Amino acid sequence: MIDPIHPTLSREVPIGREWRYEVKLDGFRGVLYVDSGRGEFRSKASRGMPRFQGLADAIAKALPMKSAIFDGEIIVLRNRRPDFASLMFRRGRPQYAAFDLLGLNGRDLRGLPYADRKRLLKKAIGRSSVVGYVENHRQPELFEAASRLDLEGIVAKWKQGTYGANPSSWVKIKNRGYSQNVGRWEMFSRR
């Protein structure tokens, strides 16, 4: 099992040509293992996620590769935005949005730079309707746009960074005014 990168939390957006920026989707982090038409999600703590077995298998059957390892987020969309409460309380259809590709057909891709893995991810997913692709952007202003749209925040990723070698190659910047944070901890206690 792969230990997913845990982004470093920061109040400041790192700036420079060596960084790329992705919207941080509010859901459950899921590393998806695909092998011969069967899928399995693992949480960021490497625990199994049997609740999403149907989604994992649907993705594995729809994609053309023999094996792959994706890193991404399981989300439920409501009004075209992730809705954490809907995901938490099983309202709506879960979907998977991949933001990284860690392995493909037996090849370990973690040693490749982020920019190369991102290109391979886009090619691997192709025009698939079963898996979403998280776009990356060159503009650090993505953080202000995400905040205006009441999204959770962004993750800045060092474009030459390999997966897991340097934890500070991924930096998480949270929207401090994010409306879905209100009552978040109470959701977990009600569950």
pLDDT, tens only, 86-97: 999 999 999 999
Q: How far apart are CA 60 and CA 81, in angstroms?
A: 25
3.60.15.10, 3.30.470.30, 1.20.1250.30, 3.40.190.10: which CATH number matches 8-190? 3.30.470.30
- 99: amino acid identity, one letter: F
Nearest Cα to Cα of residue 70 among 133, 154, 146: 133
Q: What is the pLDDT at residue 128?
A: 83
pLDDT tens per residue across span 10-24? 999 999 999 999 999
Q: What is the pLDDT at residue 134?
A: 96
Q: What is the pLDDT at residue 18?
A: 96
Kindly report the backbone phi and psi dihedral angles of residue 117, in degrees, each rounded to the nearest multiple of 5, phi listed first.
-60, -40
Q: What is the pLDDT at residue 185?
A: 57
- 17: amino acid identity, one letter: R
Chain centroid to CA 161: 17
Looking only at the bridges linking them, the beta strands covering 170-174 and 8-10 are parallel
pTM of the predicted protein model? 0.92
Cα radius of gyration (the chain): 16
**What are the angstrom distances between the C-alpha of 18 and each of 36, 88, 115, 155, 169?**
36, 35, 10, 14, 10
Low-confidence ranges of the chain (pLDDT < 50): none
In the chain the first and final C-alpha atoms are separated, in Å, by: 28
Q: What is the pLDDT at residue 180?
A: 85
List the chain domain ranges.
8-190
Q: How far apart are CA 119 and CA 91, in angstroms?
A: 33
